[in-house]
């Protein structure tokens, strides 16, 4: 059996550019109007391509939405890895860096994450992809904080590290889905939220005085 013909390099490059234009257009529409604003026709118009081009590459709206979720998660993972580059420093600074890295990544992707978290409440497939991304990010978070394990005043430091990761993720997810003043009228911008989470994480993981 003969092999399928290989596209010329220039044609491959054009195809990749077109695919990225479609993803960028879909991302913009989601950020501006949520999942309701995402239609194949709207994406094609925003990307400046034919509707058939979108269908050939991504199929219907559901598969396009899934592709956009995976694209966002790829960027989220890249951000996590970049922000969690190992550094040699004291435990208190390591904990602070981990918290800041996590909350800043959530904040950077806030609008798209709101779309997918909301969609995940009624779509098991979207929720599953989001869960796997969160689990993967947790592994990076826990690896980053491995040097802190010996300083945690608990017979089970891994459980404490896992809990603080859950606490940060849960707090950020709640903020993204429900907004800043869902449970209180007091202002709590991302910067202040991060500062308070750093204090909580240091106290919980390192105890009084933060060693």
**Is residue 7 scored above 50 in pLDDT?**
no
Q: Which CATH architecture has domain 66-210?
A: Orthogonal Bundle (1.10)
Each residue of 44-94: pLDDT tens digit? 999 999 999 999 988 888 899 999 999 999 999 898 888 887 776 899 999
Which tops the pLDDT comparison, 17 or 171? 171
Q: Which CATH architecture has domain 1-59?
A: Orthogonal Bundle (1.10)
Name the segment(s) of the chain with CATH classification 1.10.10.60.
1-59
Name the segment(s) of the chain with CATH classification 1.10.357.
66-210
pLDDT band at residue 209, thresholds of 50, 70 and 90? low
Distance between CA 153 and CA 160 in Å, rounded?
10
pTM: 0.84
């Amino acid at each position: 059996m003969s092999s399928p013909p290989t596209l010329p390099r220039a044609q491959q490059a054009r195809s990749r550019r077109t695919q990225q234009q479609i993803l960028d257009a879909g991302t913009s529409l989601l950020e501006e109007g949520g999942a309701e604003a995402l239609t194949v026709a709207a994406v094609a118009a925003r990307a400046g391509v034919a509707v058939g081009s979108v269908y050939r590459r991504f199929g219907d709206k559901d598969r396009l939405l899934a592709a956009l979720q995976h694209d966002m998660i790829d960027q989220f993972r890249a951000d996590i890895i970049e922000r969690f580059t190992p550094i040699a420093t004291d435990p208190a600074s390591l904990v602070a860096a981990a918290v800041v890295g996590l909350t800043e990544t959530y904040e950077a992707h806030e609008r798209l994450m709101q779309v997918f978290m909301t969609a995940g409440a009624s779509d098991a497939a979207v929720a599953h992809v989001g869960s796997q991304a969160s689990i993967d990010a947790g592994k990076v978070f826990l690896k980053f904080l491995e040097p802190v394990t010996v300083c945690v005043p608990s017979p089970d430091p891994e459980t404490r590290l896992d809990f603080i990761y859950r606490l940060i993720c849960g707090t950020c997810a709640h903020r993204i889905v429900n907004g800043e003043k869902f449970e209180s009228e007091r202002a709590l911008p991302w910067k202040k939220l991060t500062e308070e989470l750093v204090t909580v994480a240091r106290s919980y993981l390192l105890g009084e005085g933060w060693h």
